[in-house]
Structure 1
Amino acid sequence: MSTQPTTGTKTNSQFLALVILGTMFFAIGFALGINSYLIPLLNKALGISSGESYLVLAATFSAFLIFGYPASFVIKRIGYKRTMALSFLLFSIGFYLYIPSARLESLPLFLTASFLSGMGNTFLQATVNPYVTILGPMESAAQRMSIMGIMNKLAWPVAPLFLALVIGKSVDHVKLSDTTLPFIIIIGVFILLGIISLFSPLPEVKAVGEDEESAADCPYAANKTSIWQFPHLLLGVLALFFYVGVETISLGTLVDYAESLDLPNPELYAWIAPVGLVVGYIAGIVLIPKYLSQSKALLISSWVAIIGSFLVVLTPPEISIFFIVFIALGCALMWPALWPLAMTDLGRFTKAGSSLMVVAIVGGALIPTIYGFLKDFFGAQNAYWLALPLFLYILFYALKGHKIRT
């Protein structure tokens, strides 16, 4: 770190920063969790196929592909805190559009609203993830990211439960017009979060070697002229692309899968994946870096996810939904481990590298959409076979990919 608070205030400053950032990670998860409620609702209310209803996820995550890399220029231009405030403004605009989307029962308008919400998510992810990664020592970055992950993933099931609580009905009996009040409340909260982020006492942080005067501290990046000269980063971007896609499947399909199995109160099954994720995150906080390196954590996580994938597709359907917890458990430390492994030794390319990693979040658009169409053709349970080859690639990255240098 090149710009940290002095010794007397360093711990308190970092703790306060983590509290503020944890709130933002919760907001990210909450915004994404709304999709898990909308998917089965749109499927019934608009009479569309599963593949078409999963387009709301595609619209949300496609913003990462378009705005992920440009986000680094915005951060460089206006700074971290102003970019955070901008992201909450974009969130609020997107949430506002959900209201006329419901009134008009318009899928294109729903997709537009989801895309704008995705824009807000893109800019917020582009700020908070690298910020947490470089807020302290790189070898303990996965520990900090695990703390953030708990906040993020707990928010996923909170979103559909909040909507159900405010509306006062099970998702089976909800009309699109019933969603107006909860979205008005959500808009107010997100505007408040934007104001808080703008005036928050977050310290400025930079990665080792990011400044010209400290470039010598990162000799591997010193002679590089392009972000495309870091193979461990590029392979990590693909690993993150696969990971986000399959984790989004585990989080975003539970209500839909439970409904397809005719299980009562399907929104309650939204907790299965977050339970596995939170258990994994707690393990990361306790074990990394004292007992487990970040690469070893990724290796173990890959095997857990692979075993979980087999259990989901090979057990009886009414039981298989509970084995999604193992997919989620395996996913838990992938995000915390992939970020520091991919961003190590980037030096002055840190912001550009983090933006490429944010672009990879578009995996949450493409892969769940593929799942939706596979579900239409082969059934919900068989569609989970999609997870297996993705986890096998992440296993490769844990074994070898993160070590590759030029």
Structure 2
Amino acid sequence: MDTSLARPAGHSSVLPMIIIGILFFIFGFVTWLNGSLIPFLKIVCELNEFQALLVTFAFYIAYVVMALPMSFVLNKVGYKNGMVLGLLIMAIGAILFIPAAQTSHYAMFLAALFILGTGLTILQTASNPYIVCIGPRESAAMRISIMGLVNKGAGFVVPIIFTAWVLTGMEQFSAEALAVLTAAERTVQLAELSNRLVTPYIYMTVALLLLAAFVKFSPLPELNLNDSDETHTANTSWTAVFSHPQLILGVLALFVYVGVEVIAGDTIGLYGQGLGVAHFGALTSYTMAFMVLGYLVGVFCIPKYLSQDRALQGSAVFGLLFTLGVMFGSTDSSLIADILFGWSGIPVVPDTVMFLALLGFANALVWPAVWPLALQGLGKLTSTGSALLIMGIAGGAILPMVYGYLAHDSGNSQFAYWIMLPCYGYILFYAFKGHKLRQWR
């Protein structure tokens, strides 16, 4: 592919990378806040484990419902205006958290999360192909890895901020403390806890509106995607994307990947809470920290030392090994954490929680590797192909719910993580063979 035709003519990729990097920070901040929200809302709204994971369902199902409509919007308004629209929709979702917090109404929380997910859908649909097409295709995974560093850096910071701002003094809201209160006293206590969300979401709304104005008036160039791709086809109808196996199989790869990524990032707090880990609200930061390490590998090693398909193969193998560690690791020993960072003063966690956090490292390079492999050769179909890939994010809605059902039904939340094994098995297939297919047989 002649990449000069895919980039905005006459522009460096540095400025777009900076602006898109800011957007990826917002992706991470909003997305990985869910890991702390789940155990928080479990207390506030008095939910069981399965009900609490409706947080992930409401947030990620928006990608399924809205991805294709958002791709049509992008074709009409362009990538830059699409990003502005996405930020404005997210601001609406953020402001809805205020009445939700004041009423402690779980359905309103879920509606606000769906709207936030809708805004993120259009942002993701616009920004991911932008990063792929703004420079040489063979280094696309490296550029996405840089974006991942920003994204997961936000994911590392937000649970710490949320814990310090919202989850302080949680001992008065423990199940034991609430059990001795009268119904009226418990209602007052939980209302006080819920209202802690009001101020943070006011700030988030203001930040999203300011960012929308910044992007609108920034010199971000528009993409010029045309038919010059190496596998150009005369058929540019959106249905033509289904004739590209590498794309359709890539959608399924992202579906299972996002599912396991959300399971590792969003259930670790709930799982740690069940094991009696005191700082359960901050455990998502552990997973994000290891994802940052994985992205650093991508930034410095792709494509010079590591090809995109090799990175994907390694990710799948590590995912399988760490999942087995989660399933069969010790809930009493903290040996792995002691070795890795016990000397630093960071609170240690049981080995099985540690393996769950290490999945962050295994997951880091899957998204950056799948995108360029799946979009290879789509030309003008890139925005539609991107929308289908974004729909793969639905795995984050469905697979955590499956895990929650298995954990609740069996009463064994540790062994229920077996659901991740076939997911990593499929990613391994895509890494070795699926991305190479160019026609259905």
TM-score by length of structure 2 reads 0.86
Check whether the contact 1:304–1:326 (CA below 8 A) recurs between aligned residues.
Answer: no
Check whether the contact 1:301–1:330 (CA below 8 A) recurs between aligned residues.
Answer: yes
Q: Distance in 2 between matches of 1:292 and 1:232?
A: 20
* Letter paired with 1:301: S
Q: Distance in 1 between matches of 2:7 and 2:60?
A: 33
Match of 2:330 among 312, 316, 319: 316
Could you tell me which residue of structure 2 aligns to residue 155 of structure 1?
A: 154
Matched, 1:227 2:226: no
Map Cα deviations across residues 189-211 of structure 1 (whole Å, 9 max, x no partner). Answer: 1111111111121122234xx24
Map Cα deviations across residues 48-70 of structure 1 (whole Å, 9 max, x no partner). Answer: 11111110110011110011111
Could you tell which deviates more after superposition, 36-45 or 237-246?
Answer: 36-45
Could you tell which deviates more after superposition, 44-53 or 333-342?
Answer: 44-53
Could you tell me which residue of structure 1 aligns to residue 438 of structure 2?
A: 405
* Letter paired with 1:394: I
Q: CA deviation at 1:326?
A: 2.7
Could you tell which deviates more after superposition, 33-42 or 20-29?
Answer: 33-42
**3-state SS in 2 of match to 1:68:** helix
Q: CA deviation at 1:269?
A: 1.9
Structure with larger Rg:
2
Where does structure 2 lack aligned partners over 5 or more consecutive residues? 174-191, 332-349
**3-state SS in 2 of match to 1:205:** coil
Could you tell which deviates more after superposition, 81-90 or 372-381?
Answer: 372-381
Could you tell which deviates more after superposition, 375-384 or 141-150?
Answer: 375-384
Q: Distance in 2 between matches of 1:33 and 1:82?
A: 25
Matched, 1:273 2:295: no
Could you tell me which residue of structure 2 aligns to residue 189 of structure 1?
A: 207
Check whether the contact 1:312–1:384 (CA below 8 A) recurs between aligned residues.
Answer: yes
Could you tell me which residue of structure 2 aligns to residue 390 of structure 1?
A: 423
Could you tell which deviates more after superposition, 103-112 or 164-173?
Answer: 164-173
Map Cα deviations across residues 109-157 of structure 1 (whole Å, 9 max, x no partner). Answer: 1110110011011011011111101110111000000000111112123
* Letter paired with 2:219: P
Could you tell which deviates more after superposition, 110-119 or 97-106?
Answer: 97-106
* Letter paired with 2:316: S
Once the two structures are superposed, the pairs formed by residues 101-120 of structure 1 within 5 Å of their partners are: 101-120=100-119
Could you tell me which residue of structure 1 aligns to residue 378 of structure 2?
A: 346
Could you tell me which residue of structure 2 aligns to residue 299 of structure 1?
A: 313
Could you tell which deviates more after superposition, 32-41 or 294-303?
Answer: 32-41
Match of 1:284 among 268, 291, 298: 298
Could you tell me which residue of structure 2 aligns to residue 166 of structure 1?
A: 165
Q: Distance in 1 between matches of 2:433 and 2:361?
A: 22
Q: Distance in 1 between matches of 2:144 and 2:244?
A: 22
Q: Distance in 1 between matches of 2:309 and 2:163?
A: 40
Q: CA deviation at 1:22?
A: 0.9
Change (3 A) 1:184 1:204: same
Match of 2:277 among 263, 266, 274: 263
**3-state SS in 1 of match to 2:283:** helix
Could you tell me which residue of structure 2 aligns to residue 327 of structure 1?
A: 359
Q: Distance in 2 between matches of 1:4 and 1:150?
A: 23
Q: CA deviation at 1:73?
A: 1.0
* Letter paired with 2:438: R
Could you tell me which residue of structure 1 aligns to residue 261 of structure 2?
A: 247
Could you tell me which residue of structure 1 aligns to residue 195 of structure 2?
A: 177
Once the two structures are superposed, the pairs formed by residues 5-154 of structure 1 within 5 Å of their partners are: 10=11, 13-154=12-153
Task: Determine what percentage of the aligned residue pairs are the same residue.
Answer: 38
Where does structure 1 lack aligned partners over 5 or more consecutive residues? none
Q: CA deviation at 1:228?
A: 0.7
Q: CA deviation at 1:158?
A: 2.2
Check whether the contact 2:159–2:283 (CA below 8 A) recurs between aligned residues.
Answer: no
Q: CA deviation at 1:296?
A: 0.9
Change (3 A) 1:265 1:352: same
Could you tell me which residue of structure 2 aligns to residue 218 of structure 1?
A: 230
Change (3 A) 1:30 1:170: farther
Check whether the contact 1:164–1:171 (CA below 8 A) recurs between aligned residues.
Answer: no
Match of 2:221 among 200, 203, 208: 203
Q: Distance in 2 between matches of 1:44 and 1:97?
A: 20
Change (3 A) 1:142 1:171: farther
Check whether the contact 1:14–1:135 (CA below 8 A) recurs between aligned residues.
Answer: yes
Matched, 1:373 2:405: yes
Q: CA deviation at 1:17?
A: 1.2
* Letter paired with 1:155: A
Check whether the contact 1:163–1:179 (CA below 8 A) recurs between aligned residues.
Answer: no
TM-score by length of structure 1 reads 0.93
Check whether the contact 2:6–2:133 (CA below 8 A) recurs between aligned residues.
Answer: no
Q: CA deviation at 1:346?
A: 0.9
* Letter paired with 2:45: L
Check whether the contact 1:3–1:204 (CA below 8 A) recurs between aligned residues.
Answer: no
* Letter paired with 1:288: I
Q: Distance in 1 between matches of 2:236 and 2:220?
A: 31
